[in-house]
Structure 1
Amino acid sequence: MNREQLKQDIRTHEGVINHLYQDTRGNATIGVGQLVPDAAYARTLPLVHRDNRQPASGEEIDAEYARVMAEPPAMVASRYRSATELILPDDEIDKVLDQRVDEFMAGLSRHLPGFEQFPEGAQQALLDMAFNLGVGGLTRKFPKLMRAAKQQDWQTCAAECSRRGIGDQRNAATRALFDGACRA
Structure 2
Amino acid sequence: MAIDNAADLIKDHEGFRSDVYEDTTGNLTIGWGHKLPPGSDVQTVTDEQAKKYFDDDYRVAAGTAAQFVSNYDSLTTARQAVLIDMAFNLGRAGLAGFVNFKRALEAEDYEEAARQMLDSRWARQTGRRATEDAAIMRSGTFN
Shorter-chain TM-score: what band?
0.7 to 0.9
Q: Percent identity?
A: 27
Match of 2:95 in 1: 138
1:5/1:179 CA distance change after superposition, 3 Å: same
Q: Distance in 2 between matches of 1:133 and 1:96?
A: 16
Match of 1:179 in 2: 138
Q: Does 1:38 align with 2:38?
A: yes
Q: Distance in 2 between matches of 1:102 and 1:4?
A: 18
TM-score by length of 1: 0.65
Q: Among 39, 47, 62, which residue is 1:90 paired with?
A: 47
8 Å contact from structure 2 (residues 9, 81) kept in 1:
no
Q: CA offset at residue 110 of structure 1?
A: 2.1
Q: CA RMSD in A?
A: 2.1
| SS of corresponding position for 2:37 | coil
Q: CA offset at residue 4 of structure 1?
A: 6.1
Q: Distance in 1 between matches of 2:114 and 2:26?
A: 30
Match of 1:102 in 2: 59
Give the AA of the match of 2:27: N
**Count, aligned residues:** 135
TM-score by length of 2: 0.82
Render the CA deviation track for 1:94-127: whole Å, top value 9, x for unaligned: 2221221211121222231231331112111111
Q: Distance in 1 between matches of 2:55 and 2:73?
A: 17
Query: Structure 1: 5+ residue runs without aligned partners?
Result: 43-60, 66-85
Runs of 4+ off more than 4 Å: none
Render the CA deviation track for 1:30-55: whole Å, top value 9, x for unaligned: 1111111313xx4xxxxxxxxxxxxx
Q: CA offset at residue 151 of structure 1?
A: 2.3
Q: Among 143, 158, 162, which residue is 2:114 paired with?
A: 158
| SS of corresponding position for 1:125 | helix
8 Å contact from structure 1 (residues 18, 88) kept in 2:
yes
Give the AA of the match of 2:95: L
8 Å contact from structure 2 (residues 17, 32) kept in 1:
yes
Q: CA offset at residue 178 of structure 1?
A: 0.7
Query: Structure 2: 5+ residue runs without aligned partners?
Result: none
Q: Distance in 1 between matches of 2:132 and 2:75?
A: 18
Q: CA offset at residue 149 of structure 1?
A: 1.6
Give the AA of the match of 1:122: R
Q: Distance in 2 between matches of 1:129 and 1:108?
A: 8
Q: Does 1:29 align with 2:29?
A: yes
Q: CA offset at residue 135 of structure 1?
A: 2.2
